Amino acid sequence: MFRKSLTMALGLSLASATLFAADKYSFGGKDAAHAEIGFVVSHWMISKVRGNFDKFEGEISYDEKKVENSKVSVTIDTTSIDTRNERRDGHLRSADFFEAEKYPTATFKSTKVEKSSDGKGLSITGDFTLKGVTKSIVLDAVITGKMIDDRDSSLIGFEAKTKIKRTDYGIAWNKVSKTGTAMLGDEVKILLSGEATKNK
């Protein structure tokens, strides 16, 4: 009797865990057109250079009821950088910046997910690795919506942003004007947005 009750309890426990498990979504890859990873950096302190990475893959494991059970991971192809200027993009792939031949990917892997202080979004702490250097960063994120599209795929919308210092990752190249102004700022804003598809 005891063994039977224990078996039933374990079965119910496993069923409950499955029922309330976090939903898993993917973005990028073959569906990169529906998501974006971009960056913004100051140029001569009077304007901004904006760029994107055309190739990337990400996974979101989202538990709406217990966000602390959620996870996020992203892999970015650094060779796919695009600032709408081929000469500049070639320089950015070089050893002065991403050294993309040696370090073809940058990655982010969450270590903690919690609700933001205002309760409206998420604060996602994780390890960001760029050019062989790993630092802990925080993404300010929000889930923008959930829906089912015309192909019966379950989608989730997301937006996230963070800031890093490029010199923390060994990217220190710069030029200085005759008046002492640096061509490029140290702070880089990183922006992620789009939609992810629930894994079947």
We report the CATH number of the domain holding residue 162 as: 2.40.128.110
The answer to whether residue 98 is domain-embedded is yes
Taking alpha carbons only, the member of 109, 112, 128, 126 closest to residue 67 is 112
CA distance 22 to 69: 7
Domain that holds residue 31: 22-198
Q: What are the CA-CA distances from residue 119 to residues 22, 64, 161 (Å)?
A: 19, 13, 17
Handedness of CA 140, 73, 33, 36 (dihedral sign): positive
CA distance 19 to 170: 45
The answer to whether residue 17 is domain-embedded is no
Tens of pLDDT along the chain (200 residues) come to 444 444 444 444 444 444 446 899 999 999 999 999 999 999 999 999 999 999 999 999 999 999 999 999 999 999 999 999 999 999 999 999 999 999 999 999 999 999 999 988 999 999 999 999 999 999 999 999 999 999 999 999 999 999 999 999 999 999 999 999 999 999 999 999 999 999 98
What is the helix (H) or strand (E) element at residue 5, kind and residue range? helix 2-19
The answer to whether residue 12 is domain-embedded is no
C-beta pairs of 84-88 under 8 Å, 24+ apart in sequence: 84/51
Record the pTM.
Answer: 0.88
Could you give phi then psi for residue 121, rounded to 5 degrees? -135, -160
The answer to whether residue 5 is domain-embedded is no
CA distance 27 to 87: 29
The answer to whether residue 120 is domain-embedded is yes
The answer to whether residue 4 is domain-embedded is no
Q: What is the count of structural domains for the chain? A: 1
Q: What is the pLDDT of residue 80?
A: 98
The answer to whether residue 148 is domain-embedded is yes
The answer to whether residue 189 is domain-embedded is yes
CA distance 171 to 107: 16
